[in-house]
Chain A
Amino acid sequence: MNVIEIAKIVVGILLVIGSLLSLLSTYGLLRLPDIYNRSHAATKAATLGIMSILVGAFIFFYFVDGLISAKLLLGIVFVFITAPVGGHLIARAAYRTQVPLWEKTIKDDLKRDDLKRDKRMTKKLKKAAENQ
């Protein structure tokens, strides 16, 4: 049993783990109740699965063909950076366009912070009006 056989087995296991994580993220996307929960499933689990698959492909090309693929490394870094950023932007857009939360949600920190900021702004405006 030489190095290539062992590398092939490791690559196969990494690819199966990655696709199972991707399937898990799809299950979460189908079953979770509202958009904010779904964005967790869609961005985090899918990112981990795809990174596992890309690392498997990198190991395959390194041991079988003997080349270090800079394109795959760049793809790993790019997916790792951009997928959570996209999920955050979509969740923010959903909150600002008043997509309703799940009815069993008990805590809304963003709403509390908005109320606090509004109160502070009105106090500041009142003070400015008094000074004039």
Chain B
Amino acid sequence: MFEMLLMTSLILIAVSILGTFYRVFKGPSTPDRVIALDTIGVNIIGLVAILSVMLNTQAFLEVILLIGILSFIGTISFSKFLERGEVIERNRNR
């Protein structure tokens, strides 16, 4: 019963990641693709959590934090690049 529920949620979240890839490839504008990539990062966090429950190990819990931080930094730098045209601004006298 428990294994069946775990397998069901794993399959559902994999289908959701696959559906999000359509928006990454198709998306009419660049922010569409960025937001789809952010959603993929958030979904991968859930995938790793389900996998660590399934295998009953705490070895993957650092991966959750790492993917969360990397996905957030990626989203922020993409939005800054889209808005200003550069990621790290050197000219601060504005």
Contacts and interface: CB of A to CB of B under 8 A. Distances in A.
Contacts of A18: 9, 46
Contact of A90 (B1, B34, B43): B34
Contacts of B61: 69, 71-72, 75
Contacts of A20: 12
B45 A90 contact: no
A96 B62 CA distance: 36
A35 B32 CA distance: 6
B6 interface: yes
Q: In which size bucket is the chain A interface?
A: 35 or more
B5 interface: yes
Main secondary structure of the interface of A (DSSP, over half): helix
Interface in B13-51: 13, 15-17, 19-20, 22-23, 29, 31-32, 34-36, 38-39, 42-43, 45-46, 49-50
Contacts of A85: 72
A54 B49 contact: yes
Contacts, number: 172
A92 interface: yes
Nearest to A12: B5
For B35, B39, B62, the residue with the greatest tally of chain A CB atoms inside 10 Å of its CB is B39
Given A79-B45, A86-B72, A90-B78, A13 B23 contact: no
Interface in A63-97: 64-65, 67, 69, 71-72, 74-75, 78-79, 82-83, 85-87, 89-94, 96-97
A75 B64 contact: yes
B25 to A, nearest CB: 12
B83 interface: yes
A79 B38 contact: no
A93 B69 CA distance: 20
Given A35-B29, A69-B61, A89-B75, A97 B19 contact: no
Given A39-B35, A56-B53, A71-B61, A86 B46 contact: no
14 contacts: A12-B5, A16-B8, A19-B8, A19-B9, A49-B46, A50-B45, A50-B49, A69-B61, A74-B65, A75-B61, A78-B69, A83-B38, A92-B79, A97-B82
